[in-house]
Amino acid sequence: DRDWKLKPSAMVKYGFNAPMSFDVSLNAMYANKLEGGITYRKDDAIGGMLNYRITKSLRIGYAYDYITSDIRREAKGSHEFILLYDLFFSKRVSSSSRYF
């Protein structure tokens, strides 16, 4: 269906004196208006997000991360309220269809 778009992503993080970590995510967008997604962060958290496009440039959303690591005794998770404003420039930086 042309109304649906999927965007999988993965990120590997490595720093000096720190263990390697990775995130895996899958986002879906419906009708270029409503976007939702899930994410997994190795040995740390799982989360979800939802955002809605109000105008061509403005989106609002919410995300929650549920902590699965040892720090969950102190913090169960995090709530994030999202305000996204897209800046459109006359010169196109990328023509890849992998970006929403």
pLDDT band at 88 (very low <50, low <70, confident <90, very high): confident
Instruction: Look up the pTM and report it.
Output: 0.77
Is the pLDDT confidence value at 25 over 70? yes
Rounded mean pLDDT of the chain? Answer: 90
Is the pLDDT confidence value at 69 over 70? yes
What is the residue extent of each domain of the chain?
4-85
The residue among 8 and 97 whose pLDDT is bigger is 8
Q: Output the DSSP codes for 26-68.
A: EEEEETTTEEEEEEEETTTEEEEEEEEESSSSEEEEEEEEEE-
pLDDT band at 95 (very low <50, low <70, confident <90, very high): low
Cα 3 to the chain's mean position, in Å?
20
Is the pLDDT confidence value at 89 over 90? no
Mean pLDDT (whole number) for 19-46: 96
